[in-house]
Amino acid sequence: MKNLQILICEDNQIKAKAMLRCMEKFFEYGIKIDVSYYLNTSLDNIEDKKYNLIFIDINMKESIHGNYDQSAGIKILNKIEQSYTHDYECILCTSINDMKDLLQPYKEKYEILDYTYTHSDNDILEDNIKTILIEKSKKLGINLDSKQYDIAIITALQDEMTQVRNAFDIYETKIATSNGREKYDWIDVTCTNETHIFKAMRIEKINGKSISLISASAVKMGMSNTAVLATKIILKYKPKVIVMLGICAGKEGDIELGDILIADRVFDYQAGKVKQKGKEEVFYPDPDMYSLNSTFLAKFDDKKDAWTNDIANYWKKSTNDKTRIDPGVKIGLIGSGAAVMAKDNTFMDIEDHNRKILGIDMEAFALFVAAEKTISINKPIPILIKSVQDFADKKKDGEEDDQKKDYYRQYGSFSSAIFFLNLCHEYLIDYIEQGT
């Protein structure tokens, strides 16, 4: 099944952004849509990329400092007709009555969109574009349910995802206000016969570069549930990066409560064999080890401290809690197991075989295995960023520690999301854009 490749050629940024938002809403951010604001960039894009649905303004500026060309759209159309051999559909757009006469020879072959735009007409524009997208996709033989996202975000539990999305909302509000643009919101992704709830969003840098996100929480904690969700997302939405946010346990003395831990390697610390040795049972570990992408590891190690910037301020905006300072961050080995650990000597038992361990959880290993084993080409890069909620000792079962644990679960989920957003704006958006 072909993918939809859309280009909007429009020099009026208000109209272009209105069209873009209508399309993004319709496709739930799951389709990449390019925008060219001038004749010269439109011609360059058409030469560089094979679009199959192109919206063309007729009267456009030649370049950023150029004059208006009343036949710019016709020149773009001629370029397409001369160079494209694949199936495509063009929509000729104008709001000027005089331009409509110019388009008479093209009316039989191409659709004309009269898009005189005011804010009060936004519903009309949205309905017109929705109709066009449905009709043209059907004509091109494209499945509108086929969506693709740049990054997938998962958590072990829904309450962790609630804090993650809350962090994204607060961060995005600040960025959008600073850039003088409309804020992106989480929107529900339409799914049938589905046990998970997916929501999508877009994040955008100051320079206009942006990436799409798909998010969902597992049904329950644990490696099996994480493996199911990660595998499903990889097959259905083909992300370039799959990241898990939330909370974990940390090794007391090496890391503090609330600190952020990035996995450079993950393993299943319960994988192995138990043998009878006299009257004792002896565990012989035999774990596989999966590693963080080496390019990411080098970059994260260099920039990790800077990416904790403003976490405390964002948390204060969310909760009015003024007691936090920006957390510490470490990169290290994380082990995964099938059980919640609440006993003394948890880390000592594991350290007998993996002395460099910094944290444990119930999901990291499953994330990395799913990323490596689900598909053979275009594999997503797994990232695990979690905040330390407790030290996996018996103290975590007391009533007082339950309150502390709940606090650090909320704070940890929130802070891991802000850290990841800083990472995206400072590095990951550019990394993904350069690779597409």
User: How many CA atoms, within 13 angstroms, populate the side-chain half-sphere of residue 269?
Assistant: 29
84-133 pLDDT, tens per residue?
999 999 999 877 665 666 777 777 888 888 766 555 566 778 888 899 99
381-390 and 241-250 beta bridge pairing: parallel
60-91 pLDDT, tens per residue?
999 988 899 988 999 999 999 999 999 999 99
Mean pLDDT of 406-429: 96
pTM of the model as a whole: 0.89
| Paired tokens of 121 | 């007409």
Domains of the chain from N-terminus onward: 6-140 (3.40.50.2300), 151-434 (3.40.50.1580)
| Paired tokens of 134 | 């449905």
262-320 pLDDT, tens per residue?
999 999 988 777 777 777 777 777 788 999 999 999 999 999 999 999 999 999 999 99
- State the pLDDT confidence band at 329, using cuts at 50, 70 and 90: very high
Residue 158 has pLDDT above 80, yes or no: yes
Tell me the C-alpha to C-alpha distance, in Å, between residue 411 and each of 252, 294, 318, 415: 18, 29, 10, 6
2-57 pLDDT, tens per residue?
788 999 999 988 889 889 999 999 999 999 899 999 999 999 999 988 899 999 99
Question: Do 343 and 275 contact (CB within 8 A), yes or no?
Answer: no
Rounded Cα distance between 214 and 188, Å, is: 10
Long-range own/partner contacts, residues 276-285 (CB < 8 A, 24 or more apart) = 285/353
DSSP symbols for 92-136: EEE--HHHHHHTGGGTTTSEEEE----GGGHHHHHHHHHHHHHHH
